């Protein structure tokens, strides 16, 4: 299983004080010796954490392959094409959201996604689509010409947390998931089944299959058991643990879980 380390949350901490500390670039060298397989960053339209100079430095300095997450926006796609990372993952993006929520709507953005993939491939950049774990989205990703898909595990993570932690008793409780344990158990099984099925279909269609969003040290094991998923992109939980253990230990702890 490949581990992609998303270093956005290091930049989030930097932006809290608008100073160049901590510097996300320092994470590259720690990641390289800690068992990380690729570096992921999200160049958002509003540049709320990763900036253009960060993206350029990451691509230039990283010894590991770089995956840039980005919206289907012509100006952003142009920047990514100029940087030439190993991979670009197209994701949905809303200014008002705290983090990326949900997968791409492939139907409403079909033509724009197709054009973006064509431009990226012309620069020999691998393309991935961040999608909901459903059969139709996987098949459309193949039709659009993507090289890979990243299955959105956010819903799985939320259900898991509401079922297996005290999240339901905090301000972070998900209102739509304030349900009896039996109902949450059923939902969790259903969501796992969707992820398993989507991963199998992706592999059968010849798509490289990754997964990510909301994965942490408690919920990641079940996802790792899906053999068709060969890459996980994880950021917040690793960076959060690193505050107490250091980044190298935090990465190695996750590496030990995912194999």
Model confidence pLDDT, tens digit, residues 98-129: 555 678 999 999 999 999 999 999 999 999 99
pLDDT digits (tens, 9 = 90+) for 57-66: 999 999 999 9
Give 6's strand partners: 40
Query: For this structure, is 45 an active site residue?
Result: no
Give 38's strand partners: 4
Task: Output the average pLDDT for the chain.
Answer: 95
pLDDT digits (tens, 9 = 90+) for 131-155: 999 999 999 999 999 999 999 999 9
Catalytic residue from among 9, 49, 152, 213 = 213
**DSSP string for 161-187:** HHHHSSGGGSTT--GGG---HHHHHHH
What is the percent of the chain where pLDDT is above 90? 95
Catalytic residue from among 9, 49, 69, 150 = 69
**Cα distances (angstroms) measured from residue 75 to each of 45, 82, 94, 183, 244:** 9, 11, 16, 44, 38
Catalytic residue from among 42, 93, 150, 152 = 42
Query: For this structure, is 42 an active site residue?
Result: yes
Q: What is the CATH number of domain 2-258?
A: 3.20.20.70
Domain ranges of the chain: 2-258
Band the pLDDT of 259: cuts 50, 70, 90.
Answer: confident
Band the pLDDT of 94: cuts 50, 70, 90.
Answer: low
């Amino acid at each position: 299983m490949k581990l992609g380390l998303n270093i956005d949350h290091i930049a989030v901490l930097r932006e809290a004080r608008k100073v160049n500390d901590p510097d996300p670039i320092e994470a590259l060298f720690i990641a390289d010796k800690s068992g990380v397989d690729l570096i992921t960053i999200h160049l958002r339209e509003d540049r709320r954490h990763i900036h253009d100079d960060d993206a350029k430095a990451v691509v230039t300095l990283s010894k590991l392959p770089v995956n840039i997450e980005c919206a289907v926006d012509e100006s952003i796609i142009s920047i990514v094409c100029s940087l030439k990372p190993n991979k670009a993952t197209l994701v949905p993006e809303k200014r008002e959201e705290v983090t990326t929520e949900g997968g791409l709507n492939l139907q409403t953005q079909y033509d724009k996604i197709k054009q973006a993939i064509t431009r990226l491939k012309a620069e020999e950049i691998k393309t991935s689509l961040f999608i909901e774990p459903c059969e139709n989205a996987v098949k459309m990703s193949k039709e659009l010409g993507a090289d890979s898909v990243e299955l959105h595990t956010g819903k799985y993570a939320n259900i898991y947390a509401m079922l297996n932690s005290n999240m339901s008793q905090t301000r972070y409780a998900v209102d739509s998931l304030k349900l009896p344990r039996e109902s949450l158990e059923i939902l969790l099984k259903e969501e796992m089944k969707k992820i398993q099925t989507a991963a199998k279909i992706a592999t059968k269609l010849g798509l490289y299959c990754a997964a990510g969003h909301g994965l942490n040290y408690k919920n990641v094991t079940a996802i790792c058991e899906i053999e068709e998923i060969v890459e996980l992109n994880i950021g917040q939980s690793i960076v959060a643990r690193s505050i107490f253990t250091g980044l190298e230990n935090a990465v190695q702890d996750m590496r030990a879980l995912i194999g």
